Amino acid sequence: DETDIDNWKEVDATLTRSREWSSQGKFSGKVIFRSAQIYPNIYINSLDGDYGSCDWSSYDKLLIDVYNPNEEDAPFTVALLNGARPYAVGEQQYRGFEYGIPSKNKQTIEIPISLIEKRPGEPDLDIKDISSLTIISKQPETGGKDRVLYIDNIRLAIEQGAVKEDKPIPIVEKKV
């Protein structure tokens, strides 16, 4: 659904619906990160649709399916913010997780909710108040060309013994 893509914002990047690769369903989000920029990214604020925040405390992990069609490895960061008012100084906590997808590979990124909440040496992040999810590309330091990543099936997972249950993140219910 094209409206799912409309919920995302782009900074020095372009996000479009694509049939070229998908981990689930017919479409994924094709992101072109512009090479001339330092931190091109896509993000979704107000995960509840109205500059509010979401409670992730009943989930065990955040999962994101990513495919790298490029000829080189693709380093990127998944960043989370908490705090209902975007960019209010001192009122939000940031948590970033760095990944690298090898060339021509797909991977499911798994971020344990416990690691989002508590990470050694950093202030705790209130997982009952998650307000933004950002995917940031790290560009080559010596120029290069635009980098493409396909993003699909963003979801929160609950694991109960041997039973695993996935639930889409609020407002991304139809998935990118």
Report pLDDT for 47: 60
> Among 21, 104, 107, 112, which Cα is nearest to 60's?
112
Q: Give the integer Cα–Cα distance in Å for 62 and 56.
A: 9
Mean pLDDT of 102-127: 92
Average pLDDT over residues 57-76: 93
The pLDDT assigned to 41 comes to: 93
Spatial separation of the C-alpha atoms in residues 132 and 163, rounded to whole Å: 28
Above 90 in pLDDT, residue 46?
A: no
Residue 176 has a pLDDT of 36
Cβ neighbours around 28 below 10 Å, total: 25
Q: Is the model's pLDDT at 175 over the cut of 50?
A: no
pLDDT value at residue 48: 52
Is the pLDDT at 170 greater than 50, yes or no? no
